[in-house]
Amino acid sequence: MSKAQTTASPKRQLNKSHSARTKVTREARAEYIVTPRVKKFSECVLGLGKFTQGDCLDVLDNLPADEFVLAFTSPPYLNAINYSQHIDKIKGQVDYWRREDVSYDEYRQFLIDRFTALLRVVKPGGYNIVNISPVGWNGERVALPFHFVSWMEQIGWKFKEDIVWEKSIARDRRSGVLLQHPYPGYYYPSLVSEYVFVFQKPAAKKDRENIYWNRSAEE
């Protein structure tokens, strides 16, 4: 490995892995991290709107600044699901998928790049709603949502609300251990909820309090 490669910043190293994508197996690296950042996405018009499919970073980079009032997203939760193999599993083509090998720093940078790009296209006073949850990683439960809020504040998003999404169909029996062993050391709460955070793009008072204040009668 050359000196330039060894001293590259984490972002440069990520780009390096983009160009070397053909050598990287699905199992070895996260598909969404190694997806090459080329201006390549497809669009499908639906009524007055359209669907765009591609890496959201490419898509966002091609959208106008200060345009959108609301973004709603559920980003990948670290390596909680291997999306490249998830569909194969649903189709019954594989019995299980392997967790992807992503460093926490790579994952943090992945999110920061994309939520920075999102900040540019949202109108001042506009909102960004994000669903995220703690995940099991390297044998530990990681406080991902709590780290995430701080990353978002560093990018420039203003934290507004935290909503707890109670997942009525979630089934988790971790708390059952306490029934078998009724001692404090055996307490594991069941995991049946996730977070939904509301962020706002900083704005002058009028836009901050009501982004629609200057709407025309037709709008």
Count of other CB atoms within 10 angstroms of residue 29: 19
Residue 138 tokens read as 């390297």
Looking at the Cβ atoms of 18 and 158, the one nearer to ligand SAM is 18
The residue among 27, 1, 29 whose CA lies nearest residue 17 is: 29
Interface with ligand SAM, residue 74, by CB under 6 A: yes
- 195, containing H or E segment: strand 193-200
Interface with ligand SAM, residue 145, by CB under 6 A: no
Write out the binding residues for ligand SAM, residues 44-73 only, by CB under 6 A. 55-56
Question: Which position among 41, 83, 146, 213 is part of the footprint of ligand SAM (CB under 6 A)?
Answer: 83
End-to-end CA distance of the chain: 58
How near is the Cβ of 76 to ligand SAM at its closest, in Å?
5
Interface with ligand SAM, residue 113, by CB under 6 A: no
Interface with ligand SAM, residue 32, by CB under 6 A: yes
Q: Which residues contact 51 (CB under 8 A, 6 or more apart)?
A: 43, 44
Selected range binding ligand SAM among 76-84, 90-98, 99-107, 177-185, rule: CB under 6 A:
76-84
Report which residue's Cβ sits closest to ligand SAM: 32
Residue 96 tokens read as 């299980």
